[in-house]
Structure 1
Amino acid sequence: MQQKNITGFEKEYETKDHPNIKGVQIIDGKNNFQISWLNQQGYCEYQIYLEYMKGIETPATPEMTHGSDIHNQLETIFKKDATPSTFEEAVEVSKSEASMSRECFVISPKYGIRGYIDEIWMTPEEIVIIDDKPGRTPYFSTMNQVRAYCLAFKDMTNDERPIKAALRERGTSNLFWIEIFTEDVEKQIKFTIDRMHGLLEGSRPFVPTKNPNKCRSCRYKRYCEHYKHE
């Protein structure tokens, strides 16, 4: 399998930062948020309000730092043997010869999402989009994140090959969850993305988690009006 280091795109978008929401860009007149926020949204929507609407900053947790270190190590190793390519070239070549890429950027102005895919396998038969996570549990939030990567890739390419979403145990080759990106799955993730846009536009309220275990381990709890101190 060829290794393709995707360094850019043939198509460029004019972007500007949202005036009030940190991390949101305006592309083609529509709010565009990072796909990784869907993981956070599934954990607790109010975290998104505190971090990006209120602008509250907290130190990275040891788990976050460890995850970033592993990502960087794998990316460095990958680039040593990878061939530079544009996104469009890599997709086209994969129709006749299998290839893989890491940290593949995808963007969809239509759905208002963007993000980096940890790893993508493109073969003449199928596309497999992989997101690395700690542990081996496929949470609804992490499944939604990788589903949104699939949606963005499909929107960018109009590729007719089957697309699969997968979660992999970080630092291993263990794909502990995999799913075909069907029309029903596509409808479900579009619904979730629409809700996210409603939150950012102010037409829907941010709903805090009701799970006390999440609250106790939350790095925003000291700033959260919903946190019940024990």
Structure 2
Amino acid sequence: MENKDIDNYSNYDYENHPNIKGVQVINGVNNFPISWLNIQGYCEYELYLQYFKGVVAPPTMAMRTGTKVHNQLEQEFKKTAKPASFKETMETSKTIETKTREMFIIEPEYGIRGFIDEVQMTPNEFIIIDDKPGTRAYPSQINQVRAYCLAFKSLVEREDENNTRKIIGALRQRGTDNVFYTEEFDEDVEKEIIYLIDRMQGLFDGTKPFVPTKNPNKCKSCRFNDVCEYNQS
């Protein structure tokens, strides 16, 4: 498998949202980091406190560890990876399996962007991998990798309208080769993630309310429990 260092940064013009930290406005559409779907599945009100209210909380030990491991894996990958464009890599992967890490992806139409931990391209399929601690696939993590698949599908269609390779979303235990969840990104999965993204857009434009978790165990471990009016711990 060939390692490719893909430079896929976009040249879209954007403005920072005037009220929501981290949201960009591209062609009139609010564009948010795909990683926020993981927070949304945990507690929507955490999104409100952190990005609407601007409440600052120190990173947890798990967050610091995750960042460290990601950086180590990226540095190790770059030692053997060859610079390439996305289009070049797609063409190469029709005959030779390729792999890239930390690939930037953006989809202005749906308003999502982020970095995919790893993309494996084979002659038959594209595998979108998101690294997570542990081996349990939580709905919030599944939603996150689905959004990466949605954005990746749009990119593939722009580069090759005749593409027939299927897209597979996968969750992998961080720092290992243990893939503990996979699913094909089919029409039903695509409809589900678009529905959730539409809800996120409703949170940003004020047409939908932020719903706090009702799970007291989540409140106990939340970084914002000391300032949250819905804290149940």
Q: CA deviation at 1:192?
A: 0.4
SS of residue matched to 1:154: helix
- Contact 2:171–2:182 under 8 Å retained in 1: yes
Partner of 2:45: 46
Any gaps of 5 or more consecutive residues in structure 1? none
Distance 1:59 1:91 in 2: 40
- Name the stretch that deviates more: 90-99 or 122-131: 90-99
Distance 2:137 2:53 in 1: 30
Of residues 210, 217, 222, the one that matches 2:226 is 222
Partner of 1:85: 84
Taking only the aligned residue pairs, the percentage that are identical comes to 57
TM-score by length of structure 2 reads 0.95
SS of residue matched to 1:227: coil
TM-score by length of structure 1 reads 0.96
SS of residue matched to 2:213: coil
- Contact 1:8–1:85 under 8 Å retained in 2: no
Distance 2:106 2:95 in 1: 24
Distance 1:76 1:168 in 2: 19
Distance 1:227 1:125 in 2: 48
- Name the stretch that deviates more: 219-228 or 129-138: 219-228
Structure 1 stretches of at least 4 aligned residues deviating more than 3 Å after TM superposition: none
For these two proteins, the number of residue pairs brought into alignment is 228
Alignment root-mean-square deviation, CA: 1.1
Residue 172, structure 1, aligned to residue 171, structure 2: no
The amino acid that maps onto 2:57 is: T
Distance 2:50 2:92 in 1: 40
Distance 2:43 2:103 in 1: 27
Partner of 2:189: 185
The CA deviation string for residues 99-138 of structure 1, in whole angstroms up to 9 with x for no partner, is: 0000011100011000000001001110000000000000
Q: CA deviation at 1:97?
A: 1.8
Any gaps of 5 or more consecutive residues in structure 2? 158-162
The amino acid that maps onto 1:150 is: C
Q: Which residues in structure 2 correspond to 1:1-230 (within 5 Å)?
A: 1-9=1-9, 12-158=11-157, 159-228=163-232
Partner of 2:160: none
SS of residue matched to 2:124: coil
